[in-house]
Each structure stands twice: as C-alpha cells, then as structure tokens.
Amino acid sequence: MPLPWPSRGPSTASRAPWEDEAGKGPVHIVYDAWSEVVKGERRGERGQALVELALVLPVLALLLFAIIDFGLALNARIQVANAVREGARLGAVIWPAPDVEIKVRDRVLSRTGLVINANVGPIEVSFPQGRFTGGSVMVKAECSYRFMFPFLADLASMGCGSSAVMRLE
C-alpha cells in the first residue's frame, strides 16, 4: 500500500516525516506556567481568589437586593394601578347605588391587600360631571412604598399612587 507522503529512501519509507528513529513523535519538554496559574500554585498568590471574592461578593449582594427591592416596588405600583382601575370599573357599572363610594373603596382595598410594604392612603371616589349616564367616575388612591432593605431606606419612599377615570354606563 503506498504511503500518503513521498518516500525519501529506505530508512524513511515506513515512518511519517514527523516521527523519529524509534517511530515516536518529537519529544519536547515545555514548561507550562498556565497550569500552575490555574491550579493556584504560583508563589504568593494562594489566597488571591478568596480575597477577590470577599471584596466583590458584598457589592454583588447589595446590587441583587436593590434589584429585588425595586422589583417589589414596581409590583406594588402595578397592583395599585390595577386595583384603582377595577374600582373605577365597578363604580361605572353600579353608579346608581347609594353606597357606590363605599363599595369602590372596599374593592380597591381588597385588591391592594397583598401589596408588600406599601401603605395605601386615602381613596377618593368622585363624579366630576355628575351622576348620569355618559358622565364619569374618577377613582384616585395614594400609596407610598417603603423599601425593605436598610441601605435603600435612606432613599425617599417611592410613591405608587394611581388614578383611573371610567365612563358611567
């Protein structure tokens, strides 16, 4: 069977050009400094990764807690807006009832009951154009969100109030 490389005489006919006389490839001894760096065996750098972790981990934890707290604040804002919209919708449907303001306030408070760290303030229900078909009902709720984590508590509390206007049916 012919070899895939050209033959250079009888002594090299049975081996590849990169093999030595014993039929093995060239032997090179290379000092691999990167393997010691990866293993952490370089002199004087044994605790470097632990120190770097100790410096960076608190900053990352604070950032994570801030993201969680701002996410909860945004959730509170969305829940209050949805509760006010539901209250306005209820007021638009049952507006002839004499106790419509009480029912709307109860609806808004029941829908904001699961908001964490938010204080829902006064809920205003008004009929700016009067109580007749085609008029409107306006529901407004004030809310303030108190941040959970102490390093964010120095910031002003975030307002999460909302208002909604619906046409009376």
- Render the burial of 29-54: b for 16+ CB within 10 Å, e for the rest: eeeeeeeeeeeeeeeeeeeeeeeeee
State which residues form the domain around 163.
60-167
**Overall domain count for the chain:** 1
Q: Is residue 99 part of a domain?
A: yes
Task: Flag residues of the chain having pLDDT under 50.
Answer: none
The set of residues, in sequence order, having a beta carbon less than 8 Å from that of 126 and lying 6+ positions away, is 137, 138, 140
Residue 23, pLDDT score: 60
Q: Is residue 40 part of a domain?
A: no
Q: Which two tokens stand for residue 22?
A: 């014993």
Give the helix ranges, DSSP H, for the chain.
33-39, 48-93, 100-111, 150-153
76 in Cβ contact with 145 (< 8 Å): yes
List pLDDT tens digits, range 96-139: 888 899 999 999 999 888 787 788 888 999 998 888 888 899 99
